[in-house]
Amino acid sequence: MAFLVHSLSPIPVFVKKEYLYDLEKGHGELTPGIWISVKSVMYKALYFETLLTEYGALFDKLPISAFVWKEDYDKENQLPLDVLQLWDCFDYHVTVIQKPLLSRCQFFGKDKRMHDGEYIFTIDNAHPDTNVLDMNFSEHDPEHKSFNIIQLDNGQFAAQPNNRIIWRDSSLTPEDLKTPDFKVCTQNYAVEVEPKWSVGHTDEWAYKTKEEENG
């Protein structure tokens, strides 16, 4: 797990140039780039560091709304940042993984619409340093969220949690899916919580409890 910044596999993107000029100019223009890394700052949106190939410049602190993956993107149906990414980062510690089997999907946005796309990878947070006070919910089961990065059909990218996404697979999922009606997990699942089971009295490699020894 990385602190603050995690490297990414090089993914070609196009950057909306207004984000390179603090939203003051460049609207409607694109410049090609390659994702280099992602930054996780607590209470902020994900920041993507991008190599701007036309300039030979490395530009960071760009939100996911600054990017499209194709030049002929749907200019009339661009989603704002708070729809593309539902939650801010939970911690400074960050990891990046690619989940197997996942591909086509739809996410339900806060605009109350379904948005289609293709899964790319997942960003997740944790708080591994017990010497630092945990000020957020990365370790709190009912509130923890991950960020599944999706390449949307409208040309944008999104970062959505599991519970906002429906996954499709021609081989594994039926055409008519059931509607998830699950509850958020509020349980703390752990196995070393039973006081009646203990092997602290022995140093034997093939240890047994006292009850097992006497049984």
Token output for 24: 């003051």
CA 133 – CA 114 distance, rounded (Å): 38
Q: What is the pLDDT of residues 143-195, one digit of tens each?
A: 788 999 999 999 999 999 999 999 999 999 999 999 999 998 888 888 887 77
pTM of the model: 0.90
The neighbouring-strand residues paired with 15 are: 31, 67
CA 166 – CA 106 distance, rounded (Å): 5
Spell out the residues 6+ positions from residue 121 whose beta carbon is closer than 8 angstroms to its own: 8, 9, 96, 97, 98, 99, 149
- CB 170, CB 160: distance < 8 Å: no
Q: What is the pLDDT of residues 92-112, one digit of tens each?
A: 999 999 999 999 999 999 999
CA 102 – CA 119 distance, rounded (Å): 6
What's the confidence (pLDDT) of residue 188? 84
